[in-house]
Amino acid sequence: MDLERQKHMADSFRTRFGAEPQLWARAPGRVDLMGSHTDYNLGYVLTLPISRDTWMAVRKNGARNVRLHAANLNEDDCFPLDEIEKATSTKWSNYVRGVAAVLQSEGLQTDGFDAVIHSTVPLEAGLSSSAALECVTAVVFRELGGWDMEAKAMATLCQRAENQFVGVNCGILDQYSSCLGQSDCALLLDCRDLSTRTVRIADGICVVICNTMSPRRLSGSEYALRRADCERGAAILGVSCLRDVPSEVLAARRHELPEQVAKRCEFIVAESARAESLAAALEAGNREAVARLCAESFAGARDLYEICSPAMEAMNTAMLGAPGVLGARQAGAGFGGCMVAIVEALNADEFGEAVIESYQRASGLRAEVYRVEAAPGAAIFQPQHENASV
């Protein structure tokens, strides 16, 4: 499959740019296994960088511009490196433009290049296709420019591109996951000091993403409203972020908060603790704890944080009714998009079939189901030779 993908991209590169690509880079999407909206509260999140990724086939063009072809959308874009403005029609190119602008503001060399982009991360579905594009772009500029930068610093700059250039006030989760992924393990990320603990999921347990196929818009006002509620809660409680609020303190001072703010705070404080607990449960293969933690997380997302849509509720029911399910919950920012299930690996196929069938009956929508593995973070890779077996 990878060889076919590579061949398609190389063909498309030749057709558009009349030469061979000289450099290949990739960056993964991610799914959060636990820790919805905890990142901007500087809490914990258990994240899995996934085996669905964004590739760029690249050639330095010797000019001061970047020419792009987005294979998934069949769209082209070109922008000058010396006067980077926001694109209004090819919005996806703002992730590339934003990274270029931020790198320049750091005094880093940015060279013009031509690129074909292809992604197997479903677009706008809550699996961080945008962060994957930002991070693969940063890797390409780093390689072409010949400068060095650690993955953590790169994640932070890509987040800044999204916050300041694209204008989405996200936390660090997506870019961190895409830059720092490792094969074979999930990452328990401490969003305060950006340290991680690697978490090996016990044998026999796998991760299956279920896409509700009902669209989601992150830059919509709801995300910003949740953030504002959390900040308000922290301010009333006299701390700089909800990470600093122990659950006993929240329980004792809950009455000081407006009801909606109290609900948001309750969810975040519990969800951050659940991220740590789920890490331990997955490592130990403690199925009872996995089920309980995921159920608590979904209930909190629905009743306290209020980020669930009717499609998500239908999907949660479908996932919980499917064979081999251990736990099921929301993923990403919520409001539609993808959800995530922890499943007995032996049952993964029948799980997927059952979810598609019962979700369709309940919602009229045809779900997509992706079994995913852990994947390494953004990097250059060597293309396979065309005569290698597929």
Site for ligand GLA (CB under 6 A): which residue of 24, 26, 28, 36?
A: 36
Q: Which tokens is 16 given?
A: 């558009």
Site membership for ligand GLA, residue 171 (CB under 6 A): yes
Return the residue matching tokens 């072409």.
144
Residue 184, phi then psi, degrees to nearest 5: 80, 0
Residue 72, phi then psi, degrees to nearest 5: -60, -35
Contact yes or no for 154/143 (Cβ under 8 A): no
Q: Which stretches of 106-240 are DSSP H helices?
A: 129-145, 151-160, 173-180, 221-237
Catalytic entry in 53, 77, 174, 229: 174
Nearer Cβ to ligand GLA (125/205): 125
Nearer Cβ to ligand GLA (81/342): 342
Which range touches ligand GLA (CB under 6 A), out of 29-37, 177-185, 204-212, 241-249? 29-37
Site for ligand GLA (CB under 6 A): which residue of 28, 332, 336, 352?
A: 332
Contact yes or no for 47/187 (Cβ under 8 A): yes
Whether the CA torsion 48, 229, 294, 247 is positive or negative: it is positive
Taking phi first (over 0 means left), then psi (-120 to 50 degrees means alpha), and beta for anything else, what does residue 97 get? alpha
Which range touches ligand GLA (CB under 6 A), out of 168-176, 254-262, 342-350, 377-385? 168-176
CA–CA dist 186, 174 (Å, integer): 13
Minimum CB–partner distance for residue 334 and ligand GLA (Å):
7
Site for ligand GLA (CB under 6 A): which residue of 26, 31, 34, 37?
A: 37
Instruction: Provide the 3-class DSSP secondary structure of residue 107.
Output: coil
Nearer Cβ to ligand GLA (167/204): 167
Contact yes or no for 367/210 (Cβ under 8 A): yes
CA–CA dist 260, 99 (Å, integer): 36
114 included as an active-site residue: no
- The mark string for 174-213 relative to ligand GLA (x by CB under 6 A, - otherwise) is x---------------------------------------
Site membership for ligand GLA, residue 49 (CB under 6 A): no
Site membership for ligand GLA, residue 242 (CB under 6 A): no
Which range touches ligand GLA (CB under 6 A), out of 117-125, 165-173, 275-283, 369-377? 165-173
Q: Which tokens is 345 given?
A: 């690996």
For the chain, report the end-to-end CA distance as a whole number of angstroms: 6
Nearer Cβ to ligand GLA (121/144): 121
Q: How many Cα atoms are found within 13 Å in the side-chain-facing hemisphere of 361? A: 8
Size of the site for ligand GLA (CB under 6 A): 12
Which range touches ligand GLA (CB under 6 A), out of 99-107, 171-179, 184-192, 367-375? 171-179
Residues in contact with ligand GLA by the rule CB under 6 A: 32, 36-37, 39-40, 170-171, 173-174, 218, 332-333
* Catalytic residue set: 174
